Amino acid sequence: MKLSKSTIRIFGLCAFYLLYMFIGAAVFSSIEYPNEKQIIEKLKVKRHQFLQSHKRCLNDSELEMFITKIVRANNRGISTMNNLTVEPNWSFGQAVFFAGTVLTTIGYGHVSPLSTSGKLFCIFYAIIGIPITLIMISACVERLLIITNKLYDKLKTFSIFYRSNSTINLKALTYTHLALVFVFVLIVFFLLPATIFSSIEKEWNYLDALYYCFISLTTIGLGDYIPGDKNEQPYRAFYKIATTFYLIFGIMFVMLFISVLTQIPELNLAKLLSLEMETSSDPERQLLTSDAPTSSSYSRQIDEDDSLSINNMHSTRY
């Protein structure tokens, strides 16, 4: 049985994916393990010193039990700092932030439902809410693409993209358009928010804030940095709600950039793995394939010498 080209590419991609994952694991392990080991050694010293200074009223097993309870509470988002005089995790502002992280599948994990009824409601809430969120974001991205198409059409009027023989350089035009969308998303949803977060969160430097923006808007959601987690944060509820809307709009514009990127044929690597790329000996199927409309704005494969005359420029769709 002869394997198709797309199937061979899939096997190759899977092998590369596993290799990439193992390389990442090796790098993370080599970077983070020494730091983790150092922290563990310091904690052992602190623990020993604490037991020695309180050995008359506390033993090792009692301390272990107390630490276990604190860690379990902290893992559920319940802070034991300041004698437990902190704002509850389920105030309205905090709950809006939690709901937003569920619907966008970011899921930081720093706060989770504690009750059985809360867990059941979270399941049904996510089952309905996540598809609605995906549909809403997809619909908004589709309309935002109209604006980016207008930007593309505006760029066509710039003489810088025309050659001396009155033809337009489609490759330069396409990548300039992509670069403009990328710069807009980078500045508005990564660099500027990172500046704001680093100024509000006193314990974050700029890299921490930029890291948070990237981890959140790519929906990785590690949960190691959470805005507004300090109880003394002024206007904490408003801050949490504003951050929730930032996450929703940020994910939307990241998806917009990905959509613009994948509209360029040579950058859409998924097409190389598609069965539609395989040629068929069936003439009827070839006819249907050739006549089928395409959703890509870039309807032509752009080569180095690809050009479009001025007479045909208005008939070419972005």
- For 164, the 3-state DSSP assignment is coil
What Cα–Cα distance (Å) separates residue 128 from each residue in 23, 101, 143, 146?
Answer: 37, 14, 23, 28
Q: What is the pLDDT along the chain (318 residues), one digit of tens a residue?
A: 677 777 788 888 889 889 999 999 999 999 988 988 898 888 888 888 888 888 778 788 878 888 888 777 776 667 666 655 566 778 888 899 999 999 999 988 778 888 899 999 999 999 999 999 999 999 999 999 999 999 999 998 888 888 776 788 888 999 999 999 999 999 999 999 999 999 999 899 999 999 999 999 999 998 889 998 877 778 888 999 999 999 999 999 999 999 999 888 888 777 777 766 555 444 544 544 454 444 445 544 444 444 444 344 434 444
Give 162's strand partners.
168
- Indicate whether this model's pTM tops 0.85: no
- Say what the alpha-carbon torsion angle 61, 65, 68, 70 is, to the nearest 10 degrees: -130
**CA contacts within 13 A on the Cβ side of 67:** 11
- The per-residue pLDDT for 275 is 66
For residue 256, give the DSSP letter. Answer: H
What Cα–Cα distance (Å) separates residue 56 from each residue in 44, 46, 53, 60, 256?
Answer: 19, 17, 8, 11, 64
